[in-house]
Amino acid sequence: MKRTSQVSSMKLLQLMAKIPFFEKITNYERAPMAEYAQMYVASPGEAIIEKDALDNCFYVLLSGKGLVCVGRHAEPVATIKPGEFFGEVGFILNIPRTTWVFSEGVSALLRIDQTLLDNLDASTRSKVKDQIIIKLATTVTNFNAKS
């Protein structure tokens, strides 16, 4: 993936306003996020997350699509759509990645890491963590419903 700086902080703020992950975070609170954010672009078929890699971030998909695969050449087990985030388990637990995530088409991503979070006030950090907790709880609930 290539890091890009072609998106201004103002444009990123406009994008963030349309993404569910950021809906409980005010425009004022998003401003430092946009300032410290790292934007990446992934090419078609490129790995965004590599299984077994140790990485201290998670991603919010701004555009494109992500395919989650258990093996490098396995069929996708899930699809990530714009506005969704992924990689939060490795980020929170600081463990190796458990799956591959590949870009289907060109994808734009916002990378959120501990450095970005450290530059936010406590209230905004709490809102980010709340979003992660909600997703993890929803994932467990959906898994239990299928069992």
**Residue 146 binned pLDDT confidence (cut-offs 50, 70, 90):** confident
* Mean pLDDT value of segment 86-101: 93
Q: Is the pLDDT of residue 86 over 90?
A: yes
68-99 exposure pattern, b = at least 16 Cβ within 10 A, e = fewer: bbeeeeeebeeebebbbbbbbbbbeeeeebeb
Q: Contact 3/39 with Cβ under 8 angstroms?
A: yes
Task: Kindly report, residue by residue over 7-33, the tens digit of the pLDDT.
Answer: 788 888 888 888 888 989 999 999 988
The strand pairing partners of 65, in sequence order, are 104
User: Is pLDDT above 80 for 6?
Assistant: no
